[in-house]
Chain A
Amino acid sequence: MNNSTQIDLKTLMEESKNLTVLYAEDEELLRNNTAMLLRKLFQNVDVAVDGKDAFTKYLDNRYDIVITDISMPNMDGLELIDRIRKMNLHQEIIIMSAYTESAYTEQINTADVTGYIYKPVDMNQMFEILKTSIDKLKEKGT
């Protein structure tokens, strides 16, 4: 497993390097160390402290991938997704949230997002979803 991850990671990095990412998470400690990890994969990672912050940043800069938590103050992840979709129907969006938030999961249209990364994050699941997203971007790009 370790080996395959390593290969996957290296090939993934080839493709991910030049992509821009917006990451929204309200919990500071988690935001910090998740951002740290993302920055190891992507050269350009912006962080937002809640949905509202993320949307403002999205208006200034278009990002290749938006990764967002769902439960956040001011503007939650679902509203953020909704607003982004209205501007860009094909925006790559990944949810990174806890499985336990059943109240929200019902409302998530899985077709809207590329994937759902569950917290606490399992690295392989995360990379798989990131890879799907990168592949989709590659298709669009070519």
Chain B
Amino acid sequence: MKFFNHNKEISLLFFAFVFLTIIAISSKVYSNYLEKAQNKVFNDLYNHPLKVSNTALKIQLNIHKIHLVLHHIALSPNKEKLEISIDQLEVLQEETYDYFEIIKINILGEEGRKILQETLTYFKKWKSIQNNIMISSKNNNFNKSIEILESDGDKYILRLTTEVSKLYKYANIKAVSFKENSNEIFDFQQNINIYLTFFILIIFIIVAYFSISQLYSYLSKNRKLTNNLKKKSKEFETIIKEAPNPIILHNEEGNVLMLNKAWTDISGYTQKEITTIDRWVDSVYKDLDTQKTVKKHISGLYDITKKINEGTFSFFTKNNKKVTWQVSSSPLGIIDGKRTIITSAMDITELKDKDEMIITQSRHAAMGEMIGMIAHQWRQPISIIAMDANNMLVDIALDSFDVNTVESYAKNITSQTQHLSQTIDDFRNFFKPDKKILEVNLSKIMDDTFVIVKDSIKNNNIELITTFETERLIKAYPRELMQVFVNIITNAKDALITTKPKNPKINIRVYEDEKYINTEIFDNGGGVDISILSKIFDPYFSTKDEKNGTGLGLYMCKMIIENHLNGSIKVSNKQEGACFTIRLLKNVEGKKENE
């Protein structure tokens, strides 16, 4: 699919084509060269041997002509005729010399030049004889002319004719051999040309085959890849569509790109009903303020660069059922030019219902402990009431019944019953569920907590030391927070009863740092065994025997602090004992919910 994967093949093809081009060009150049060579051969053929042989024939002719003219000169009847013949002779001589000159220029080979030289020498000798004849005739000594002509002239004619024939033959032979030679060269060159053409053809076929096959495999691979890609993307789509958790794809323009079945199934809204984020928010949140908050939250999502947990959102389905989702989002990058986000949720409605059930349950489970606390609360007033009654009985028995004293006993009893009644109210309040988040002062919550636990602490001679270093308000469910404090303080009390240090103490310190309001609750009961420190917040984990502990107390504390109040709770061992630290965010809403 990628260009880089085929780099090798492509460079190979490139070089093959370059090679082919070079060969084609060079073969063309070569054939051009052949043509030129052929031309040259023909030129040579006509210029040299043929010219020589032709000229040799002309010289032969001239020899006979000169011979004839010599006869005219020797036998000239009158002076006029002699003059004409002499002129003719001189012209012929000149002409013959010219011919020799032509031969000299065109003749090839050492042997040829030798023959030419000999012929020329004979011709020159014959010329001097011709001149003798000419001079004798001019002097009217015709007899001598005839004598010279007959004795020497004929001899030279024969000889010259032979020599010139030799020249002719030589030139002829030369021409034939030249032709044969060039034929051979032509054949050879033609063969090379044929082979070369054949070679180019083969290479061309190879390159063509190779490139076509490459192209074919590339195309088919590409087609396969495209098909695979289509299949894969369909698979991915199916995976998202069928995923058990609700998933949504949306972009910064607020368009919903994709929704899966879990999303539509749980919410009850179809994809057509929620084409945009705004339509979704408007459908599932009823409260206008909440709609605004949620929309603002979502519009802020498009800036994220990595996965974020958005927290829990509770909203209403089409069937008006309240569901709670734990939502997280990740950026998908830019799709079609818009920043796109994938958001997936986990339906924790049941979990949350269960959580809330456990909180209620655990509060009821703590009822046992509460009855113990009530016993502590009530023990003193009841004892006082009983003793007042006893005093009255003794007075009656001793006949010392006095109206004023009796009145004081009765007043005492009444005030104690008020106390008893107050205790009941305190505890009943504690069991009431929290309706809403309130702005509360931790020291006030702590005071309310002490109302419940103070007697059981005091009756066990435990000193309670509190330090409030901040009066800042926090948003919380007050009774849930109380429940947490009651739990931790009671645990500390139980630890102190078991370990019996010399001066049992529970310290509570509330202070703030940059982000949090911190509450430290620590005792001098020797601390938590290191091996169970990490399990202390697990549900159904208890070090106490069954009668005293349900194992839900600290688990519930953790749930309240972390899930409802977005804070944190941890335990550590200090010098003298266990230390629980609860951190709650300053000025931050308990949870993002619309209830």
Once A33-B391, A33-B412 are accepted as A-B contacts, the answer to whether A9 and B397 lie under 8 Å apart by CB is yes
User: Is A123's beta carbon under 8 Å from chain B?
Assistant: yes
Once A9-B394, A30-B380, A100-B375 are accepted as A-B contacts, the answer to whether A37 and B387 lie under 8 Å apart by CB is yes
Q: Are B390 and A121 in contact (CB under 8 A)?
A: yes
Instruction: Kindly identify, within residues 1 to 57 of chain A, every residue whose CB is under 8 Å from any CB belonging to chain B.
Output: 2, 5-6, 9-10, 13, 27, 29-30, 33-34, 36-37, 40-41
Q: Are B385 and A120 in contact (CB under 8 A)?
A: yes
A33: chain B residues at CB < 8 Å are 384, 387-388, 391, 409, 412
The smallest C-beta distance from B183 to any residue of chain A, in angstroms, reads: 136
The smallest C-beta distance from B128 to any residue of chain A, in angstroms, reads: 173
Instruction: Kindly identify, within residues 61 to 116 of chain A, every residue whose CB is under 8 Å from any CB belonging to chain B.
Output: 71-73, 76, 98, 100-101, 103
Contacts between chains A and B (CB distance < 8 A), count: 74
Mark contacts of B350-366 with chain A using CB atoms, 8 A cut-off: 1 yes-contact digit, 0 otherwise: 00000000000000000
Q: Are A120 and B382 in contact (CB under 8 A)?
A: yes
Q: Are B383 and A120 in contact (CB under 8 A)?
A: yes
User: Is B158's beta carbon under 8 Å from chain A?
Assistant: no
Chain A interface helix/strand/loop/mixed? helix
User: Is A119's beta carbon under 8 Å from chain B?
Assistant: yes
User: Is A126's beta carbon under 8 Å from chain B?
Assistant: yes
Once A40-B398, A100-B375 are accepted as A-B contacts, the answer to whether A76 and B461 lie under 8 Å apart by CB is yes
User: Is B205's beta carbon under 8 Å from chain A?
Assistant: no
User: Is B460's beta carbon under 8 Å from chain A?
Assistant: yes
Instruction: Kindly identify, within residues 409 to 423 of chain B, every residue whose CB is under 8 Å from any CB belonging to chain A.
Output: 409, 412, 416
Q: Are A101 and B390 in contact (CB under 8 A)?
A: no
> Among the interface residues B372, B376, B463, which one has the most CB atoms of the partner chain A within 10 A?
B376
Q: Are B394 and A121 in contact (CB under 8 A)?
A: no
Q: Are B394 and A123 in contact (CB under 8 A)?
A: yes
B391: chain A residues at CB < 8 Å are 33, 36-37, 40
Q: Are A27 and B397 in contact (CB under 8 A)?
A: no
B409: chain A residues at CB < 8 Å are 33
The smallest C-beta distance from A86 to any residue of chain B, in angstroms, reads: 19
Q: Are B383 and A30 in contact (CB under 8 A)?
A: yes
Instruction: Kindly identify, within residues 432 to 463 of chain B, every residue whose CB is under 8 Å from any CB belonging to chain A.
Output: 459-461, 463
Q: Are A126 and B394 in contact (CB under 8 A)?
A: no
Q: Which residue of B lies closest to A7 (CB)?
A: B397
For the complex, give the distance between the alpha carbons of A126 and B386 in Å: 12
B382: chain A residues at CB < 8 Å are 119-120
Q: Are A30 and B387 in contact (CB under 8 A)?
A: yes
Q: Are B390 and A29 in contact (CB under 8 A)?
A: no
For the complex, give the distance between the alpha carbons of A103 and B391 in Å: 30
The smallest C-beta distance from A82 to any residue of chain B, in angstroms, reads: 14
Q: Are A73 and B380 in contact (CB under 8 A)?
A: no
Q: Which residue of A lies closest to B409 (CB)?
A: A33
Q: Are A9 and B398 in contact (CB under 8 A)?
A: yes
Q: Are B383 and A123 in contact (CB under 8 A)?
A: no
Q: Are A119 and B461 in contact (CB under 8 A)?
A: no
User: Is B120's beta carbon under 8 Å from chain A?
Assistant: no
For the complex, give the distance between the alpha carbons of A71 and B496 in Å: 14
B219: chain A residues at CB < 8 Å are none
The smallest C-beta distance from A7 to any residue of chain B, in angstroms, reads: 9
The smallest C-beta distance from A121 to any residue of chain B, in angstroms, reads: 5
B375: chain A residues at CB < 8 Å are 100
User: Is B393's beta carbon under 8 Å from chain A?
Assistant: yes
B459: chain A residues at CB < 8 Å are 71, 101
For the complex, give the distance between the alpha carbons of A113 and B393 in Å: 27
The smallest C-beta distance from B505 to any residue of chain A, in angstroms, reads: 12
The smallest C-beta distance from A3 to any residue of chain B, in angstroms, reads: 10
| 7 contacting pairs across A/B (C-beta < 8 A) | A6-B397, A9-B394, A33-B384, A36-B391, A71-B461, A72-B461, A73-B463
Known A-B contacts: A40-B394, A40-B400, A120-B383. Give 11 more (CB < 8 A): A27-B384, A29-B416, A30-B387, A33-B391, A33-B409, A33-B412, A71-B459, A73-B461, A100-B375, A121-B387, A123-B390
Binding site for B on A (CB under 8 A): 2, 5-6, 9-10, 13, 27, 29-30, 33-34, 36-37, 40-41, 71-73, 76, 98, 100-101, 103, 119-123, 126
